[in-house]
Amino acid sequence: MSQSNSQSNDEHPELAEAADQSVDRSATTAASATTAASTGSSRCGYVAIFGRPNVGKSTLLNRLLGQKLAITSHKPQTTRHTILGVSTLDAGQILYVDTPGLHQRGGNALNRYLNRAARSILTDVDLVLFVIEALQFGDEDALALAEIAKAGTPAIVAVNKTDRIADKARLLPFLQSLSERHAFVSMVPVSATKGDQIKRLEAEVLAALPEGEHLFPDDQLTDRSERFLAAELLREQLMQRYGQELPYRTTVEIESFTLETPSRKRQAEGPRARIHALIWVERESQKAIIIGRRGEALKAAASQARLEMQKLFGRPVHLEVWVKVKDSWSSDEAALASLGYGEY
């Protein structure tokens, strides 16, 4: 898999002006960035994309990378694992780490795992990219900010979803209140969906990173395996296609992932991935819903997942999917570990 950094160049001066009026930039950071640029040195570091659920963290990661890596949906808590996205630029390499949304809801084993995974990364990165929704700052945002302060890691705020705010002047008092909550390196209003201010955010992030050589090959997108990404892409379809509660009782396990040598007629296509996947649910009634009438619902989800896999992997994919029941897997620590939730 190679990466492409094709990003929107649409910039909104009123957004930049609002941010500039509400936060003083770090003189040290600006000076070090200028020095690095003049000497031709490179910057490199890890950046945690952190915040409450459903603020657009994974959408922002995909936009910063210039292509889809992390799965997305309109439902909160879509992200269940940390995932590394490598962005290689002329001036350096940014190693973004997408994290599950930090939340207060739910007390089962899966919820506890998600919060541990999110918190665990904060002290292991060079910078935190704190993502919040424009004009929204609730208890879970405050919880996330408290964790950032506790970790002591420098942070930039990405104020997302500004495309939903018609009168951008309304952002001024909101940004001012944010600057009073924490000593942020900088604050950048953005729209991950539209691509507004993404170049500016990228520049701010890079300037805040230490000088250093690239840690990954320039054409590498992530350190996650295709096996892992295949499971995520199938789970994305479950998140997008089924009701509010059912996706939270499902997970995906890849039983086998093999590359087949193509026939002479298909030599130009390269090896084909043959993937056998299991969708785990907690009850028989959930299994029936996932499969649907005459298997149509499952067939539609698997078909779209296969297309997404082919696009990301750059090769033909043969996907077979089964649905099985594992009672109360989301509340069982041992079951979670067996399904890949043991490490962050």
For the chain, what percent of residues have pLDDT higher than 90? 81
Q: Quick one: pLDDT at residue 245?
A: 84
Q: Quick one: pLDDT at residue 248?
A: 92
User: Is the whole-model pTM more than 0.85?
Assistant: yes
The mean pLDDT value for 65-82 works out to 95
- Yes or no: say if 171 and 134 are a contact pair by the CB < 8 Å rule: yes
The mean pLDDT value for 66-75 works out to 95
Does 51 belong to an annotated binding site? yes
3-class secondary structure, 163: helix
Q: Quick one: pLDDT at residue 13?
A: 63
The mean pLDDT value for 265-292 works out to 92
- Yes or no: say if 138 and 111 are a contact pair by the CB < 8 Å rule: no
3-class secondary structure, 159: strand
Amino acid letter for position 302 = A
Q: Quick one: pLDDT at residue 16?
A: 61
Does 55 belong to an annotated binding site? yes
Instruction: Assign 266 a pLDDT band (cuts: 50, 70, 90).
Output: confident
Does 160 belong to an annotated binding site? yes
Instruction: Assign 167 a pLDDT band (cuts: 50, 70, 90).
Output: very high
Mean pLDDT of the chain: 90
Cα 33 off chain centre by: 26
Q: List alpha helices for 155-283, DSSP H.
A: 171-181, 198-207, 226-241
* Domain architecture of the chain: domains with CATH: 13-207 (3.40.50.300), 226-341 (3.30.300.20)
User: Going by C-beta distance under 8 Å and a sequence separation of 6 or more, which residues neighbour residue 144?
Assistant: 50, 51, 52, 102, 130
Does 193 belong to an annotated binding site? no
Q: Quick one: pLDDT at residue 6?
A: 43
Structure tokens at 13: 């001066």
The mean-pLDDT minimum among 189-193, 229-233, 266-270 falls in: 266-270
- Rounded Cα gap, residues 116 and 102, in angstroms: 9
Instruction: Assign 217 a pLDDT band (cuts: 50, 70, 90).
Output: very high
The yes-or-no verdict on residue 144 having pLDDT over 70 is: yes
Does 52 belong to an annotated binding site? yes
- Taking only the tens place, the pLDDT of each residue in 183-209 is 999 999 999 999 999 999 999 999 999
For the four alpha carbons of 159, 161, 163 and 168, in that order, the dihedral sign comes to negative
Does 287 belong to an annotated binding site? no
List 20's β-bridge partners, or say none. Answer: none
Does 58 belong to an annotated binding site? yes
The yes-or-no verdict on residue 28 having pLDDT over 90 is: no
Does 97 belong to an annotated binding site? no
Does 99 belong to an annotated binding site? yes
The yes-or-no verdict on residue 104 having pLDDT over 60 is: yes
What are the angstrom distances between the C-alpha of 296 and each of 27, 119, 231, 290? 59, 40, 20, 9
Does 76 belong to an annotated binding site? no
Does 62 belong to an annotated binding site? no
- Yes or no: say if 321 and 234 are a contact pair by the CB < 8 Å rule: yes
